[in-house]
Amino acid sequence: MLVFSLIGYESQEVLIGNQTEINVTLKVSVSKLDEVVVVGYGTSTTKELTGAVSTLKGASLEKLNPTRIENALQGQVAGVQITSSSGSPGAAQNIRIRGYTTNGNNNPLVVVDGVPYGVEGLSTLNPNDIESVNVLKDATAGIYGVRAANGVIIVTTKTGRKKQPTKFSFDSYYGVQETTRKMQLLNATQYAVLKNEAAAAGGTTLPFNNTSLGTGTDWQNAVFSTAPIENYNLSATGGTEKTTYSIGGSYLRQNGIVGGDKSGFTRYNARLNFKTDLTDKLAFTNTLLYTRTTQRFT
């Protein structure tokens, strides 16, 4: 199944089957043209947007259940390349927007609720706390100056709504990870027989006088193991006529498939978004984010 989507158009799903050529025509979605997109100078509607901006909604993040926001951006946003520094759980991710630059620093600028963040700060955020992620890839990021030379990633966290009763939400998942593919290797007896055949064909002395060596040790099974991953999220949102609030907390634990308990990543998150209207033209906004991460290496 292929899914074709574009901002301002209705998404269309096409079943591939035996088709070798697929022609798709997307229909304009009038309602989606009024969607608000965060840009460097504030906000804009999709129909008025002329810059290169990609948007990823929080609902899409929740479906993917990523451990890091960068993992959700991979393959979801055009022009953004995500590579991992290692396969260890919680390992840093390298983000490149529209390739590499020549000024020695290729990292984009990350802005969370209007506050500049380092790229490494993305790993400290809970994907379930994210309302939307906007990626600016051209001159629309100019308001941030030279720091935005490699693009800007604008993250907006969830907030409450006015005149809404308090709503509690809890979700969790538990899974088991394993390596996707293993190499087909010879056992000890097969290896000895093959080495003897090669030596005989080359006219050299046979390296093994006895090829009945049994199966030996499967080092892939010895190195790789199944590893658990679990995540728990609790949040409360609501608001009155003048005040909105959103409170959340989460716990994530991920072990590595190499090293077992000796390799893993643990993250604790707490968030508070509070906004109240002091007057008709003046509002007080407060955002508190707390994160504690622990990473173990083999």
49 DSSP 8-state letter: -
Mean pLDDT of all residues belonging to the chain? 81
CA–CA separation, 274 and 285 (whole Å): 6
Percent of the chain with pLDDT over 90: 22
The amino acid at residue 11 is S
Kindly tell me if the per-residue pLDDT of 130 is higher than 90: no
150 — pLDDT class (breaks 50, 70, 90): confident
> Which residues are registered as beta bridge partners of 236?
168, 247
For residue 139, is pLDDT > 80? no
According to the model, what pLDDT value does residue 31 have?
Answer: 56
Q: In 119-149, which positions are buried (b, 16+ CB within 10 angstroms) versus exposed (e)? A: bebbbbbbbbbbbbbbbbbeebbeebeeebb
Once rounded to an integer, what is the mean pLDDT over residues 177-200? Answer: 90
- pLDDT tens-digit map of 222-265: 888 889 999 999 999 999 989 999 999 999 999 888 877 778 88
DSSP secondary structure string for all residues of 115-175:
EEE-GGGGGGS-GGGEEEEEEE-SGGGGGGGGGGTT-EEEEEE----TTEEEEEEEEEEEE
pLDDT in tens, 93-115: 788 887 666 566 778 888 888 88
List the chain domain ranges: 1-34, 36-157, 164-179+226-296
- 36-157: CATH topology is Ferric Hydroxamate Uptake Protein; Chain A, domain 1 (2.170.130)
pLDDT score at 32: 56
- Whole-number pLDDT of residue 230: 94
Q: In the predicted model, is pLDDT for residue 41 greater than 60?
A: no
pLDDT at 46: 43
72-92 pLDDT, tens digit per residue, is: 777 777 778 888 777 778 777
Distance CA 89, CA 257 (A): 9
Q: Distance from CA of residue 112 to its chain's centroid? A: 16
